[in-house]
Structures are given as structure tokens and as C-alpha cells.
Structure 1
Amino acid sequence: MEDLLKELIANGYLETFDGDELQLPLLLRAILLIRKGALAAGAKLLGSLHTWGKSEIDLLRSTVEPARLLNVVAEDYHGSFGNSMSQGAAGIVCGAILGDLVCCVQRFYDESAEFITRVVGLRYEERLDRVEGLLPGEPVNLLWEPQNPHDPKAIKVLDRNGKDLGYLRRNIAHSLVSRIKRGAALSGRVMVVLGPEFDVNDRLNIEVKVWENSHGFGSCVYDLATRTLSHFVLP
């Protein structure tokens, strides 16, 4: 937060802010979380703001890169945060800031070369204990499970030692599996791990990269019956 405040002061953003000062700490915290890569937690805070004036909109526009804000809106639009913020003022504000980029939201996961998302299912099988030991930048493996009896398009997330961390959200995984079938490969790394004060399924946030036209090189398939990998992810 200190670095963000220094940036805002240096650029004169706080001097010209004449919005709701009671909401300003929440807005700043949301911006900080989004910039770190904790999109779900940041989006929830944006959705909790009741008043959006010119100062709030200008502050968000000035401090969050359009590509990152597009990622936030796409995650929300595709239901990746559970309760959507898109029905409220925050969704309208983000759409207004993005302008024509909003056209990219619908096919975001079908076309994006990289994006940030959260890993879910952390409550089970000691996953949370493993997550708490992860560091930003640490690689993770993304494994398609075609033999998963609950969802043959599920994508599991494992740490560098092959330990189970959780899963990508269903709708994101389905889009990615379609790309894998066309020859794409996936790689991932940790963006940020949030503390215990946050919802458990908002805590692990990763960056996913999609390597098109790899013809399967580097993509990974997990056999549930034998618990083996057919091949490995890209470094």
C-alpha cells in the first residue's frame, strides 16, 4: 500500500480526489489487490462500493492497466467470482473505462495468450497447507484430466513437486481444453497468495499462459486410474 500511496501522491491523484473519502480506503485496497494479481478479492471490494463519481472512475482508470482491468471484467462476466459484480455500478464503470475492449470479454478465454485467475477447491485434501508455502513467481503445473468422472474437461493445478493444489474454474477449464485439443499447451506461475483473512478460494491466484500451435508439446494429461502424467508442461 505504501508504494501505491507514493505513486498517487507523486502524480497528484489524491490532491484532486473529491469523491467519497469514506470509500477511498476500500477503493485503494481494491486497486492494490488487482495490481498484485488478486483479481477476485479486488473485484469483490469494487463491487462493495456504493458510490462511483468522476474521481473514483478517474482513479481506477489511472492506476489499473487496461489489460488487467479487462481480465477482471472477463473473470466476472464468465462467473469466475461466484457472485457477479457486473450487475452493479462497478461492472458498468469497468465497462465504461474499457470502451471497445469490452468486445473481447465474451471470447476472452478462447483467445487470450495469458491471464490471471484463482484456484478453487483449496478446502480439501490438505491443499491449503501446500498453498501457504508457495511464493510469487513459483511455477505450477496445469493438468487436464480427461478421465475425471465428475468433469472430463477438468484442469487440476499442482505445485512443482506434483502435489495437488486445486482446480481451475469449470468454465475456464472447458475453454482451455478446447484449445489444448487444437494443439495448445499451458504453463502457469503463482501471482500472489493472500492471507487467511480472505475467502479460502480467493487466496491462490495464478497466471496462466497458453502456447498455441505447440501440437501438444508441454501440455499435460493426468490419468486418474494410474495417477501418472502422460507428458509435462512447458517450463
Structure 2
Amino acid sequence: MKQFHTKVVGVTFDGRQECIRKMKIGERIRLERDPNNPHDANAVKVLNEKGEHIGFISKDLARKLAAKMDRGVKYRAAVSDITGSSDSVLGVNLVIREL
């Protein structure tokens, strides 16, 4: 089983910071393909446990994951760290395991 770490991109848009403020380290994350994304056909959305959209996987990594996800490969992801502080922009780091 392959495991790797990455950070979530696009966390400052569409009220995502409010969702991130409520998240915890260890929280399960869902990765969902977004092939109709107008900016990137390989886009992979990052959703929290409640199904709220908190950002995307970076474009370079998404290109690799999208091809595998489209072939049926599954991934399990969790929050490994919340970066920043309550008075600044928060970021989310993930640990992702290929199943």
C-alpha cells in the first residue's frame, strides 16, 4: 500500500476557512473526482466528513491520481495537520493511502 503526504490547495475560496476551523487532526477525508471542472479536467475535490468542499489536490498530483481513480483505484485520506493560526489563513495537510 502506497502512502504519501500533501497539502490541500484552494482553501481560501467559497467560505472554506470556516469549515477548516472546525476540522480536527485525524478526521477522515473524501477525495472525489471533478472531471467537469472548467479549470482542470483532472481535478480531485477534497471533502470533509460532512461532505463540505474544503479545496482540491494540487494540479500535479491530481493528474496522477485522476488517471488511477478513473481506473477504479481507491484512496483513504485523513487530516495530518492544520497549519496557520486562528487569526490567519488555515491550511490542511493530508496523509493519503492507496488501497
TM-score, length basis structure 2: 0.88
Residue 120 (1) aligns with residue 1 (2): no
Q: Which runs of 5+ in 1 are unaligned?
A: 1-111, 212-235
Whether 1:195 and 2:79 are equivalent positions in the alignment is: no
SS at match of 1:123: coil
Aligned-partner SS, 1:176: helix
- 1:72-221 counterparts in 2 under 5 A? 113-196=2-85, 200=89, 203-211=91-99
5 Å-filtered alignment, 1:8-87, equals none
Residues of 1 paired with 2:36 and 2:11: CA distance? 21
Kindly provide the amino acid, as one letter, of the partner of residue 206 in structure 1: L
CA distance in 1, matches of 2:22, 2:33: 24
C-alpha displacement of 1:115: 0.6
RMSD over aligned CA atoms reads 1.8
What do residues 69-95 of structure 1 show as CA deviations (whole Å, max 9, x unaligned)? xxxxxxxxxxxxxxxxxxxxxxxxxxx
**1:36 match:** none
**Residue 40 of structure 1 corresponds to which residue in structure 2?**
none
Which ranges of 4 or more aligned residues in structure 1 deviate by more than 6 Å? none
Letter in 2 for 1:187: R
- C-alpha displacement of 1:156: 0.6
Percent of counterpart pairs with the same letter?
29
Which amino acid in structure 2 is aligned with residue 204 of structure 1?
V
State the one-letter code of the partner of 2:92. L
Aligned counterparts of 2:40 and 2:89: Cα–Cα separation in 1: 22
SS in 1 for 2:41: coil
Deviation at 1:179, TM superposition (A): 1.3
> What is the rounded CA distance, in whole Å, between the counterparts of 2:30 and 2:72 in structure 1?
17
Deviations 1:44-63 (A, max 9, x none): xxxxxxxxxxxxxxxxxxxx
| 1-structure distance, mates of 2:30, 2:94 | 11
1:194-223 CA-to-partner distances (Å, cap 9, x unmatched) read: 2338x847x210111112xxxxxxxxxxxx
Distance 2:82 2:28 in 1: 13
Question: What is the CA-CA distance between 1:181 and the residue it aligns to?
Answer: 2.6
How far residue 137 of structure 1 moved from its aligned partner, in angstroms, is 0.7
Q: Which has the larger radius of gyration?
A: 1
Q: In structure 2, what is the Cα distance between the partners aligned to 1:181 and 1:158?
A: 18
